[in-house]
Amino acid sequence: MKTVKGKRRRVARRRPKPLSVRERQCLAGISVGFRSAEIAVLTGMSEHTVKTHLSRTYRKLGARGGANAVAVGFRRGLLT
């Protein structure tokens, strides 16, 4: 609960946004140590597109970077 000018109000908890198939592929690539360029070659995407997917993945997971995103992914069962 948050207090605004002495009044209490409930803050709705947001449900985590699901990752797209491509975002999961990029996250899986990062988890095994591939760089963006290597993920691009393996998936047939451009490197820029891979970086875009990773950026969106970090935002959706609330992660600060690749290692943090992988840790969150494992905790949420997105990676095995």
CATH number at residue 24: 1.10.10.10
Q: Where does the chain have alpha helices with state H?
A: 21-31, 36-43, 47-61, 66-75
The answer to whether residue 37 is domain-embedded is: yes
pLDDT of residue 15: 81
| Structural domain count of the chain | 1
The answer to whether residue 34 is domain-embedded is: yes
Element spanning 3, H or E: strand 2-4
Percent of the chain residues past pLDDT 90, beyond the cut: 78
Q: Which domain holds residue 38?
A: 19-75
23-48 pLDDT, tens digit per residue, is 999 999 999 999 999 999 999 999 99
Encoding tokens for residue 23?
């975002």
Mean pLDDT of 8-21: 79
pLDDT of residue 77: 95
